[in-house]
Amino acid sequence: MRCSVLQCVAVCCSACLVCLYMCCSALQCVVVICSMLQCVFSVSLYVLQCVAVCCSMLQCVFSVSLYVLQCVAVCCSVLQYVAARVQYVSICVAVRCSALQCVAVCCSMLQRVFSVSLYVLQSVAVCCSMLQCVFSVSLYVLQCVAVCCSVLQYVAVRV
């Protein structure tokens, strides 16, 4: 009877040990799984932090890019305004140059007219001078003729 009780105790103890071993094994599995999950969560957290940093950097890059694009837009607007002013000034200068060319042409034509008029006046002056000379000679001749006629008349009366 004692042997039978000891055998029962031994079987119970053996069953308890097996149960404890299985529990310990199960707990070890849980610990390993928890450790793996902790590792996964750590990696996931690191990845999420990296993604957050990348998003922050991209946001910074987009902000800088937007600022640069706005600056470029402002510069383009200023350049467009300057180009419009330059074009306006160029048109004004071209109109003024055209007007000055017209004035130069008019002045050149007037100078030619004045030159021709001066030549005509000089020619008339020369002709007048020649006519004056002819008139002077003619007057002298007529005076001589008058004197001769007067002398002849006097002689004719005396004779």
61-96 pLDDT, tens digit per residue, is: 989 999 999 999 999 999 999 999 999 999 999 999
Token duo for residue 80:
């467009």
Provide Rg for the chain, Cα atoms. Answer: 66
Q: Which pLDDT belongs to residue 109?
A: 93
The pTM of the whole model exceeds 0.85: no
Query: In whole angstroms, what is the distance from residue 83 CA to residue 21 CA?
Result: 90
Q: Which pLDDT belongs to residue 10?
A: 83
Place of tokens 């308890």: 16
